[in-house]
Amino acid sequence: MTQQPRGRRPRGSGTRESILAAAKTRFAEMGYPRTTLRAVALDAGVDVRLVTHYFGSKQSLFAHCVELPFDPETAFEAILAPGLEGIGERVARFVVGGLGTEAGRQTITGLLRAAASEEEAAETIRHLLVERMLGPLATRLGTDQPELRGALMGSQVAGISIARYVVQLPPLVDAPVEQLIGALAPVFDHYLTDPMPHA
């Protein structure tokens, strides 16, 4: 029986990165409740004490795993620079493209699986989607009720992520990328630029 490595690896050995990669996969596939530090350590091939050394608690490890795989400011500049015309399509292309990468898909699906069962994870995804991404994007457009617009955008991103990558509804899984972008673009246009009903 092969003994699991014990003790801290030498600096520069990529231990922290290996743990983080293993944790991202675990959270995405198993969800927050069923992911344990011991399981992450086993996947990374390290002693569990190294996981706590680098990340502390499971909550802290989870927070590190959900860092955005892109810089929001850079993304906003590219989306907003051409103006309001066609903004729905640019947002749709950005969202679908981001979910098409392994890093983006792991981040969002991991968050959604966790948010379904843990309030701490739900708070994380609210902060990520609404406060750091979609809310600021709506605010920079200068339209009214940016928080509501951002939340509606978040509902659309969460919905397509669950349906296509978690539940895996066949028509959405099989839909070509351009068809998906074309279907989402007018919805994003509506949420971002159309008059918003008041309470």
- Would you place residue 69 in the very low, low, confident or very high pLDDT band (cuts 50, 70, 90)? low
> Cα–Cα distances in Å, from 33 out to 110, 167, 172?
11, 19, 28
Residue 6, pLDDT above cutoff 80: no
By the 8 A CB rule, do 109 and 32 touch? no
Residue 2, pLDDT above cutoff 60: no
Closest CA to 127 of 109, 104, 143, 111: 111
Q: For residue 34, how many C-alpha atoms fall within 13 Å in the half-sphere facing its CB?
A: 10
Q: Residue 40: in which H helix or E strand, if any?
A: helix 37-44
Record the tokens describing residue 45, joined without a space: 């091939």
Q: Give dist(CA 35, CA 33) in Å, integer.
A: 6
The type of residue at 106 is Q
Q: Which residue has the higher pLDDT, 134 or 176?
A: 176
> Cα–Cα distances in Å, from 38 out to 9, 45, 62, 145?
17, 10, 14, 45
pTM, rounded to two decimals? 0.69
Give the model's pLDDT for residue 1.
44
**Tell me: the pLDDT tens digits for 10-68?**
444 689 999 999 998 888 788 778 889 999 999 999 999 999 999 988 878 887 877 66
By the 8 A CB rule, do 133 and 182 touch? no
**Tell me: the pLDDT tens digits for 164-184?**
988 899 999 999 999 999 999
By the 8 A CB rule, do 62 and 124 touch? yes
Average pLDDT, stretch 106-113? 75
Record the tokens describing residue 1, joined without a space: 């029986």
Residue 88, pLDDT above cutoff 80: yes
Residue 87, pLDDT above cutoff 80: yes
- Would you place residue 75 in the very low, low, confident or very high pLDDT band (cuts 50, 70, 90)? confident
Q: Give dist(CA 58, CA 52) in Å, integer.
A: 8
